[in-house]
Amino acid sequence: MMCRHALFCILIPTLPLLAACENSATSMVIENKDHALVLIREQPHLWSNEVEQYIVVSRLPDCQRRVKIHPDRTMMTPMTVYEMGHLLWALNQGEDRWYLVSTEGCQVQDWDNLRGRRPGVAVGSFEQRDGKNVFTVNPGP
């Protein structure tokens, strides 16, 4: 009986720490729920200050793929999404981290934006607001 009480007293204070781990999915709907880009962030270990990130490219029923991208820190670095053409997107996170995403072929790849300029129209950004990860649509030019 005493053992159960001691275990209970040890586990209860650790629950808030476990809740601090991040596991979120935020989507940018392109045309409808079947055509979207999704940013998934997972913090597998409570003690880590690094969050694993994935981009899910979805254009159902033709394709859907989850691709691991570079990790981020626990406080999310905003990621801006640019429309570059038909079914082609550029994602920029931080100063120098760029990705090209095709929803035609369900592909994600690192990209060296050597010119350092905006590659198209900014349609919105994945960001953290009020402690939650959201996609905010750009209001337009």
Task: For 72-82, write each residue's pLDDT tens digit.
Answer: 998 899 999 99
Yes or no: say if 98 and 92 are a contact pair by the CB < 8 Å rule.
Answer: yes
Of 15-24, 43-52, 68-77, give the lowest mean pLDDT range: 15-24
For the whole model, what pTM was predicted?
0.81
In this structure, what is the dihedral angle of CA atoms 63, 68, 74, 79, given to the nearest 10 degrees?
-60
Of 12-21, 49-58, 85-94, give the lowest mean pLDDT range: 12-21
